[in-house]
Each structure stands twice: as C-alpha cells, then as structure tokens.
Chain A
Amino acid sequence: MYDFSYAKPAALAQAVQALGDPEAKALAGGMTFIPVLKQRLNKPSVIVDLAGLGLSGIRVEGGALIIGAMTTHGEVAASADVKAAIPAVAALAGHIGDRQVRYRGTLGGSLANNDPSACYPAAVLALAATIHTNKRTIAADAFFQGMFTTALEADELITAVSFPIPRRAAYAKFANPASRYAMVGVFVAQTDAAVRVAVTGAGQNGVFRHEAMEAALATSFTAAALEGVTTPVDLMSSDIHGSAEYRAHLVMVMARKAVEEAKGK
C-alpha cells in the first residue's frame, strides 16, 4: 500500500471540505477500498474516514425505510425494522460477504463503489430508492451509470438511502463460492404501481433493470409469466466464473426464484 495521510472529521461539512482535495478519497467500511489500496490500484494522498460523522441508523418514516449511509450490512441484516418493512433487504444484507465483512461494510460504501457484482445496487434499483447526499437527492434510475461509475461528484457523499416499502419483494443470488459476490443476483419488487426487476453481477455495464421481465410480471406476478422472456446474451459479462450464455440463463433461474420467494411472503 502507498502511504497516505488520514483524517477522521467529526462533521459532514469538514469531510466534504477535505474531499475537495482531488487526491483525497473517502473511506467508509473499507471492505473493498482497503483491498484496492493494498493492490496499489489507487493512490490517494489523504484518506477521509467517514466513521465519525454519525451517518448510521435505521428508521421507518412515511412509507419508506431510511437507512443511513454508514449503516453496516450486519446492522441491516439484524434490524427488526428492516425485517418488518422490507425483509428482502435484510436477507440481502445478511448474505453479503461473510460475518466479518458484514460488521464493517456499509450501504453507502457499496453504492458509491458500484461494483458490478455487488448486491445492494440491485435492491436500490428494483425498489426505486432515493439516494440522499450532502448536496441533493438522486433517483436510483439516475444514480448507477455503469460499472464502478455513479452520479456522485468527487466531493459528494451519500448520507442515507430511502427505500419505498413495496407490497412484496425478494432477492435471489447465485453467489460465487469463493468471493460470495453475486455471479447473478436478481431483485424483484412489486408495488401498487409497478413491478421492477434489477439484475446485478451479470451485465457488462453493472446493475440494470430487466424491462422485459418487468412487463411480463406486471401482467401476472408469477414465475410462469417469465416463460419465454429472453435476456440478451450480448449484454452479459463473461469471465472465468461463467460465460455470457451461462449468466443469461442464470438471470432467468434467479428471477423465477425471486418471484416465488416474494409470493411466498
């Protein structure tokens, strides 16, 4: 790891100011960022630790589940409020990485990084969540802009995420057995207005909405309704863990599983 200076501001304004330095980087839980630093894939001069900003916490308010950006996966997984409001989010958080990763990794860190195989982006996109930052609110549809790319500006920090509570939802993940990242993860959510389906792990451009599946499920929210819906193979990523064809097939398998699970609740 290259060396860096370390700052742990106690207020959001100070953190934002510190991140005005173009060589500064924010540190949330560090479960991805510290490995990135260890591989010398990034060389910040200053690390701005966000742990002192009081950005963690969970509450339900006005038909939405609001989770602070620094809330850990473990806290989300164990939260009675999350389990009651959107159990699929609690279940998703409880299967990220391993116990030790879940104690440190955060919602905000996961979203800001937008790893193409991360689980949370699928929930945020399928649930049409709103990302709150120190500057503005960003709709999920506008937030994710391709792998490792988001709408966030350099000195913009996620403060919280607001998830509208759906009628029912579920997430099905086919985890890479070594890394536990999603080889394919499908999050299905049904609200009074619509059905949304978001796919992570599979797309060449990171998380995406599967509109053909959304249309089919809007007609009938059953696994059978997905029959004949195709997933374009040329949009899938292909690597040593699975070919594009394999991933396209897994998208259907996981989508069916997610619909069945959502209906079962």
Chain B
Amino acid sequence: MTRLPDVRRCQEWAEQMLSYALAAGADGAEVLVRDGSELEVKVRLGEPELVKDAGSRALGLRALRDHRVAVAYTSDFAPAAMRQFARESVDLCGLAEPDPLADLPERHEMAREIPDLDLWDETAPSFDAAQALGLAKQGEQAALQFDRRVTNSEGAVCCRVMGATAFASSAGFSGGYRGTSLSLVVAPVCDDADGKKRNGHYWTAARFTSGLLDPEAVGLEAARRTLAKLGSRKIATSQVPAVFAPEAARALLGQLAGVVSGGAVWRKSTYLAGREGTAVASSLVSVVDDPLTRRAPGSRPFDGEGLATRPNVVVSGGALRTFLCDVYSGRKLGCRSTGSAGRGVGGGPHVSTSNFILLPGRSPPAELERLPQGLYVTDLMGFGFNPVTGDWSQGANGFWIDNGSRAHPVSEITISINFDDLWKSIDGVGNDLDTRSSVQSPTLRVSRITVAGT
C-alpha cells in the first residue's frame, strides 16, 4: 500500500489550513503537515516475524490570537473537519495568557530559499518487503553462522521510511521537502558459561539504499560484538581513566545537546546557564550543529518555524560559543534564533539539534586505549543524568583495559562523575567519527571516572 509522500499535496493542505485559521480569527498561524510511509520487517531464526507496511499523515497547527497560543493536532483531512478544527483551535487560544514573545517570527527572518540537501533516494520507493526481508535474512544468517557460540537471535530488523514535510506560516513562508532513510539492525544472542545470556547488536543506516553497509558485514560485526561479551564480570570499585566507544560517546553528546538548548537556559534547567564564552569542556572538544550536510540523517533545509538553517559552532576549543535557540528562547535570552527550531505535528516549536557533531581529533582509537589500566565503555544504561546540577551516574558495559589491551568484558557496574567535570577532563579525541546517526561522535577518553562495582 505504498503511497509516495507528496510534498506538493502536503503544501496545499498546509496553506489551506493556514487560510482556515486566519479566517477563523487568528492573528497569525503556522501549519506543519507530515505525510509518511513506513515499511518495517523483522526476521528471526530465518523466518519472517513481522511485515508492517503503512502510510500515515497528520497536521499540526499553532494559532495565535491576541498573543495567546494554542497548539493542535489532527489526522482528519476532510475539508469540513479541517474548517471545524481550525475554528476550535483558534477558540482554544482564549485559555492561554498573552505572551508577546510567543508571536510568530518577524517576516524578514523567514527562509527565502530551500536548499536541495539530496535527502531523497529515487530507488527507495521500489525497495519492497521482499528486499527488506532478504537483507534481514542475510544479516541474521551471517551472525548465526559466524560462530557456534551464537546460539540464538533477537532477530534482524530492516526499515525503510519515506516522508514529506510541508510548512506554511502567515509570517511569510510556505515550503516543503521530502526524504528517505533505511536501516538494518542484527541482534544475536550467545550463551555464557554461568547460564547468563549475552546479547549484542550492530546496525547500519543511511538516507540512500546505496549507503547501507553490506548485510553480511553487519551480521558479522554484530556476532563479533556479542561474542566479545562472553565472560563479562564486574570490576572493583575504583577511580580509573575511561575510553568511550563512539556509540557510548554519542549518548554523552546527546545529553550535552540537552544542556546547550536555549530552552533549558531560560527554564533554569541546565548547569550551563550563564556560561556562554567560558570553558565548558577540554580544549580538545569542538561541537557543531550542521543541518546542511548533504544526505546526512539529521539534515533539514529550513527549521520548524520556517527560518533558514545554518551550521552553528556550539563549542570550539572547549569554549561555549552559543546556546541553540528557536525564536521564543532567543527572545527570552535577548538574542536571535540560531535556526534550531524543531517541530513535530503534535506540539509547538522547540529547540532541537540537526546533525550534532563532535569534531574528530587526530588520535587513532587504539592509541587512546593504550593505558596501564582503565575502562573501555561500549554502552550506557539508565537515566542517571540531572541536567540542573550535572550529576551523572549511569550503568555501563565494556571491557577492562590492562597494560594497553582489553583484558576481559565488564558488565553490571555504574560509572559516575559530574557532567561538567566529564567534559573538562577529556584528554583524547579519536579520529573515528561515527556518522550513522544525527548525533555523531568519535571515540573519547576521560582522564578519571568513578566506577562502582564489587
């Protein structure tokens, strides 16, 4: 039932709803329409377990009347229903209180051009369930055949998403774009000597089918990573240097994205409030948010309020250069939007990163592991981060490093440090940037962290 996402049709709906909202008495309004199609297949032990194939569309309206805001969501596109929805949403504004800072952006702020970021793969629509099942089967089979200690599988999942986004604002913008993305993940399971099971996974993702890794390569890497966990054990409570694999470092970087958001600053919900221009990380750390990278997972040609997007240097040489702002948080903080508004159909604009990248350094990752003793962290667990204070404590898995090499796998420990200290004590940045997702990091090394174990 694959329907091609239609940008032009979405734009017509957005403009139509905009006119209904203005006719219903709104002083200003903005409308987001998303039309998407998802294909998800899962294979387990060689057999198809799930084939999900569906199209979905929805509309989000933000209406303003007398500087009062209402946000509404619907999936009903019948003309009569759209008109009624516009009327009811504008009426809802009466319940909010006037907030002039919440007005739409100024007309001159709006994007004039929509750059083509090469986000649409013409071959994606013909990528069907049979092909997806084929990739998943090959990936899983490669993992299962790699080693007889791979005894089970959580399965292999292959997805293809196609989507169109259109946005119209009475501040003077109407535009749209479309994009594709594909992914494959393989998750084998091994039996450990103590009766415990060890699971692991590896994945590939890309905007274009041609950008996906070979399914066998994904399966083999998934099997290697899972086997490496056999014999995992705790280590002693101690303070040691820690090396974060790109996947674990990405989780740290995602948490950093939350505390450099202008929204968190005026909400007093970040320990970085008031720290602009000062050192917030080691001089080895530079972070950019770049929405304009061609074919990248988090790229967007305009932001969630219709402003032009641009690369923003957030941290350079360890110094905080800017908070990322949408129009509202910019006004709250007395600065301009950085073009960093995200927007979903279910809510109003908010600060969101695009491709949030910690720039790679010069060190080969193996060099960062050359430690007398230390912890190599492959993945983190749990929610132990308090952005208000920077207190940070997470479950961790990885390897114990002894005399420069990985001695044995480690599980069931926590690592703790204040998040501010963590970034300031980075003493190594790898040259191995992982570009698979919209938050991208190379390997990072932290000089000292508290491990709680036995």
A pairs with B: no
Which B residues are within 8 Å of any A CB, using their own CB? none
